[in-house]
Amino acid sequence: MKSKLSLSLILFLVLITPAALSFEPTQSKTLALTHANLIDGVSSTALNDVTVIIRDGRIDAVGAGIETPPGATVLDLKGRWLLPGFVDAHAHVSDMRAARAALASGSTTLRCLGVGHFADAGIRDLSRAGAADLPDIIAAGYHVRPRMADEFFMNFPAMNNFMTGLSGVENVRRVVRAMIERGANVIKTMGTERAGLPDTDPRKRVFTDEELAAIVDEARKQNVFVACHAHGDEGARAAVRAGARSIEHGTYLSDETLALMKERGTYLVPTIATVMDLIDPGGDYDNPVLAVRGRAMLPRIREVTAKAAKMGVRIVAGTDTSYGPASIRRMPHEIIEIVACGMSHMDAIKSATSVSAACLGVDNRVGAVKKALEADLVVVDRNPLLDITAIQDVLVVINNGHIVINRIVW
């Protein structure tokens, strides 16, 4: 079974390699997508034989029987399935090659939760300046954690007194302010240690209640959300009480914490596929200690995700991948995992589109196929509402109205 899965992943990655990115040379400023079966990211049912008109990078009209404007570039989808571009709520993209790989797989927006030297902010700025071969980025810069990355001090040498450790309410506030002043759109902090290092304990707390509250409060002053990495229940619950926008991972969440998340509207980003990555050879992780850990964690995160969904906690899809040369997980894999946890196909797709966009605070721009939103779209060959694995077969990627992948013509 594993060999079949690995072959499927390899084939998928070959098909969406960033080398495949290309632009339609004759595309006008108006693009018409005709004869589409549409999953718009917000409706409960699909719409059949729909036309979508795109002008100057935005969706201008959506509906059946719409006439194609004169001079428009026409892409006849012939009954294929059109969806919003995926909004990956948890990625770690640190270079342009990786950003292009993400886009080629259908992720047109990424929330980047920890890279060095604010590379994510640089990619974001290039994308927003018109580089259509790059996805939009919601940038966090560095994690705010007790042991800041060495690179952090190269960017902030005046904070060298934290090289032995970051703690204390005023000190964490100072770091959050510095991150936002440098251009962070979101603050990523840690409620517990990581799972992806063999010498860490993912249940162990790392910040006090007061420190987490100060991190969230300082970010809120600048209208910036906080995403909190937390596998263990105690650290996660403290982050929820502090007002974190989302809990990343949540492997060992209790019913009490899930109920609090439901009450406060906290999102859960389970990143199930990356736990699979701990187990499988290769990928972002390839370590026997982590494989043992992953086998213990996988049933727990699946159980938590299923329970959270039933309780009404909003589930968000994220890959927790770098999209690097060794990476084998993409957003379709996380959507498939979420379906395996009991969510409907439609709700799992929403977790990767409109719900994810809402979590990031960008649902006024992306995450759905509706008038006035940015034209970030993907096309798959077959109906993912019947077979969710069909969502892996990305044929077309449209980013800000530009066709950057088109495999229909092959």
- The answer, yes or no, to whether residue 29 has pLDDT greater than 90, is no
For residue 180, give every residue at least 6 positions away whose Cβ sits within 8 Å of its Cβ, in sequence order, or none.
187, 219, 222, 224
The pLDDT value given to residue 28: 66
- Give the pairing type, strands 186-190 and 377-380: unpaired
- The answer, yes or no, to whether residue 3 has pLDDT greater than 90, is no
For 101-157, how does the pLDDT look when each residue is reduced to its tens digit (9 = 90+)? Answer: 999 999 999 999 999 999 999 999 999 999 999 999 999 999 999 999 999 999 999
The pLDDT value given to residue 275: 92
Radius of gyration of the chain measured on its C-alpha atoms:
21
- Give the pairing type, strands 394-399 and 107-112: unpaired
Q: How confident is the model at residue 286 (pLDDT cuts 50, 70, 90)?
A: confident
Question: What type of residue sits at position 366?
Answer: V
The pLDDT value given to residue 23: 54
Neighbours of 260 (CB within 10 A): 17
The pLDDT value given to residue 278: 87
DSSP 66: P
Give mean pLDDT, residues 223-244. 97
Give mean pLDDT, residues 391-409. 94
For 351-375, how does the pLDDT look when each residue is reduced to its tens digit (9 = 90+)? Answer: 999 999 999 999 999 999 999 999 9
For 214-229, how does the pLDDT look when each residue is reduced to its tens digit (9 = 90+)? Answer: 999 999 999 999 999 9
The pLDDT value given to residue 218: 98
Bridge partners of 258, per DSSP, are none
DSSP 28: -
- The answer, yes or no, to whether residue 64 has pLDDT greater than 60, is yes
φ/ψ of 242, rounded to 5, equals: -70, -20
- The answer, yes or no, to whether residue 66 has pLDDT greater than 70, is yes
The pLDDT value given to residue 410: 54
- The answer, yes or no, to whether residue 72 has pLDDT greater than 50, is yes
For residue 61, give every residue at least 6 positions away whose Cβ sits within 8 Å of its Cβ, in sequence order, or none.
51, 52, 53, 371
Q: What is the mean pLDDT of the chain?
A: 93
For 373-383, how does the pLDDT look when each residue is reduced to its tens digit (9 = 90+)? Answer: 999 999 999 99
